[in-house]
């Protein structure tokens, strides 16, 4: 079985070294504080939460609930998501769980089916469409669950930027109201759009201003990452070749895992042979080529000025984009380029650090370098 996982979040043996961060999260939660985890794209935020719940939380003291908010577009989606995942995480069997849910919640009834893969799926049916009433019901149910079990509750909200979809119904204000009211519940917040999330937790006008301590996930150090990789390759990948992979990808966790995933299959075929520079280059280039159609489709969805702006970022290594020579070579005006850069930044297609722009998706950036340079 391939030990490298990149297509989904991972935990257990597949989880890549984040010991210090797990200790920090545990410290913050046990001090009865909330935490907001942020990072660049594909640095393993979701995997970190799931690993924390799986390995670091005492199940005799805490109930843990993980809510992925990615698909929500309104408050009905939001409350159904919460009801559904509470139902999924209760410890009882099918019949006892339905009875327990009826005891916990007054504003939702539940039906359950067994899917083809044998997993249970619970579907909440709401008898109210007042968000205040529904949130009150959810939190009263969680409080009752906590008192019945003698356990505290930890909630993880992933893709929390989706909470902005609830502003029209004042959902963000109401959620903050119940977070404050039921102060024994602890929260972990994270999500994809770093700028939007940072505003949610840092701007004074936001409903969630100052609600959580911040933890930035940074690159796993090259040495620690190599320890993890070398153990799984059984000394077939030299440190020098791994260093090249790490430097090219700037330590992006998911992309390194994806490259190693494909290298691992090659290593199995070659059995006892040491992986060479030629093999690493072949896997690396094949991976980028496999993204051709996807990235071409992505570029075709951009306006021409936005395509030129991406090209400017790549050609100039993210700096001095508005030099006369660059504008001439790209045949673009400063105003047009500036507008395109602002749109790409707002949509988080590009980002900025230390006065240098870069493409947020590292694989796309590497592909663009091959296409434009």
Residues 68, 174 share a domain: yes
pLDDT at 14: 74
Tokens 């504080």: give the residue. Answer: 33
Residues 336, 260 share a domain: no
- Residue ending a domain, choose from 217, 237, 264: 217
pLDDT, averaged per 10 consecutive residues of the chain (373 residues), comes to 83 79 93 91 88 91 93 91 94 86 96 82 92 96 96 94 83 94 95 82 90 90 93 92 95 93 88 88 95 96 96 94 93 96 92 91 94 83
Residues 199, 301 share a domain: no
Q: Which stretches does DSSP call E strand in the chain?
A: 35-39, 62-68, 108-114, 120-126, 152-158, 186-189, 213-217, 350-353, 356-359
Tens digits of residue pLDDT in 168-183: 778 899 999 999 999 9
The CATH number of the domain holding residue 328 is 1.10.10
pLDDT at 140: 97
Residues 102, 194 share a domain: yes
pLDDT at 5: 86
Residues 238, 142 share a domain: no
Number of domains observed in the structure of the chain = 3
CB neighbours of residue 231 within 10 Å = 11
**Beta-bridge partner residues of 357:** 352
Global pTM? 0.88
Range of the domain at 248: 222-290
pLDDT at 42: 81
């Amino acid at each position: 079985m391939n030990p490298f996982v990149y297509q989904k979040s991972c935990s257990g043996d597949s989880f890549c070294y984040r010991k210090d961060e797990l200790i920090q999260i545990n410290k913050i939660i046990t001090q009865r504080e909330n935490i907001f985890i942020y990072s660049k794209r594909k640095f393993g935020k979701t995997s970190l939460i799931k690993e924390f719940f799986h390995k670091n939380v005492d199940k005799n003291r805490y109930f843990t609930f993980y809510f992925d908010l990615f698909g929500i577009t309104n408050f009905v989606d939001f409350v159904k998501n919460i009801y559904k995942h509470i139902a999924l995480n209760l410890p009882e069997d099918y019949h006892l769980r339905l009875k327990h849910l009826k005891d916990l919640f007054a504003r939702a009834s539940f039906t359950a089916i067994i899917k083809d893969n044998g997993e249970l799926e619970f579907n909440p049916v709401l008898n109210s469409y007042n968000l205040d009433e529904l949130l009150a019901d959810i939190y009263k149910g969680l409080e009752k669950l906590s008192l019945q079990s003698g356990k505290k509750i930890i909630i993880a909200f992933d893709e929390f930027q989706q909470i902005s979809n609830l502003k029209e119904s004042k959902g963000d204000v109401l959620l903050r109201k119940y977070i404050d009211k039921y102060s024994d519940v602890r929260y972990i917040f994270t999500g994809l759009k770093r700028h939007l999330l940072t505003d949610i937790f840092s701007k004074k006008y936001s409903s969630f201003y100052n609600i959580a301590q911040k933890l930035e996930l940074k690159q796993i150090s090259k040495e620690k990452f190599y320890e993890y990789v070398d153990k799984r390759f059984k000394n077939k990948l030299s440190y020098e070749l791994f260093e090249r992979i790490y430097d090219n990808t700037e330590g992006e966790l998911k992309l390194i895992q994806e490259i190693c995933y494909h290298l691992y299959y090659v290593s199995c075929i070659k059995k006892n042979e040491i992986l060479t520079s030629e093999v690493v280059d072949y896997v690396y280039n094949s991976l980028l080529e496999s993204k051709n159609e996807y990235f071409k489709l992505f570029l075709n969805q951009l306006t021409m000025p936005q395509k030129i702006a991406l090209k400017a970022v790549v050609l100039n290594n993210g700096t001095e984009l508005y030099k006369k020579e660059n504008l001439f070579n790209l045949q673009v005006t400063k105003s047009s380029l500036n507008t395109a850069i602002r749109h790409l930044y707002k949509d988080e297609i590009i980002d900025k650090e230390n006065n240098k722009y870069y493409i947020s998706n590292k694989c796309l950036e590497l592909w663009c370098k091959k296409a434009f340079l």
